[in-house]
């Protein structure tokens, strides 16, 4: 495909950041399910042994949180709600039929929901995880607080898993999205259809750069 028909959506550092978060999520989600459900204990072998899973699970969780904070700092201002998001949400039935609605910016309402739901879940997971983290921090907290933290941690983990499942499904459903996550670019046709306001902003920026070079 000609380069003039491509638009960069994510840089190499952005993609690396995304896949670090994704890798850590897979490891902690799988091992966490092994902790929570006795019949899934074998899932803890993702870290080699159940003993290693109990040691490494929280460390991988911290890496995931810190990596996602990097994404948060990059993208939070693109995920603020506006009137176009309300139009998108009201016409979700059309979106489900692959008909785009509204003048969508870099992210649509569904993507913004995933973004904010993920950050809330991760904050709860971090806070509750510290409380139940043995042998480092748990001894500083009371038994009732630890029990509450276990409930919060479990519920938040399930919520995050569901959110990421929606994220993955949407990425597979919208053709061209995986390319953006893997190679960093999308076609101009994809950008015009799914994120027209973002497309115009990128196009205008490219025109300004060309004018500066020409001038």
Cα 190–193–199 angle (5° rounding)? Answer: 75
- CA-based radius of gyration for the chain: 20
Dist CA 142 CA 41 (whole Å): 27
For residue 10 the two structure tokens come to 């994510």
Q: Helices 143-173 & 109-132, crossing angle to 10 degrees? A: 150
Dist CA 210 CA 207 (whole Å): 5
Contacts of 187 (CB under 8 A, 6+ apart): 1, 5, 6, 7, 176
Indicate the helix (H) or strand (E) that contains 175.
Answer: none
Residue 167 a catalytic site member: yes
Q: Are 102 and 49 in contact (CB under 8 A)?
A: no
Catalytic residue among 93, 167, 194, 195: 167
Q: Are 166 and 114 in contact (CB under 8 A)?
A: yes
Which residues are identified as catalytic?
167
């Amino acid at each position: 495909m000609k380069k003039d028909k491509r638009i960069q959506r994510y840089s190499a550092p952005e993609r690396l950041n995304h896949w670090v978060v994704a890798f850590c999520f897979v490891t902690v989600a799988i091992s966490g399910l092994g902790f929570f459900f006795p019949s899934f204990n074998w899932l803890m072998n993702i870290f080699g042994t159940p003993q290693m899973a109990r040691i490494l699970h929280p460390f991988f969780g911290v890496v995931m949180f810190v990596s996602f904070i990097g994404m948060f700092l990059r993208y939070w201002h693109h995920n603020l709600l506006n009137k176009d998001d309300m139009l998108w949400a009201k016409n979700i039935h059309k979106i489900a039929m692959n008909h785009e609605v509204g003048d969508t910016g870099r992210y649509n309402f569904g993507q913004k929901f995933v973004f904010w739901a993920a950050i809330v879940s991760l904050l709860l997971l971090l806070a509750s995880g510290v409380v139940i983290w043995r042998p480092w921090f748990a001894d500083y907290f009371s038994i009732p607080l630890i029990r509450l933290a276990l409930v919060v941690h479990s519920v938040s983990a399930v919520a995050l898993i569901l959110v990421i499942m929606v994220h993955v499904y949407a990425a597979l459903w919208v053709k061209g999205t995986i390319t953006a996550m893997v190679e960093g670019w999308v076609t101009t046709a994809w950008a015009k259809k799914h994120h027209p306001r973002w497309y115009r902003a990128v196009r205008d920026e490219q025109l300004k750069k060309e004018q500066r070079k020409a001038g």
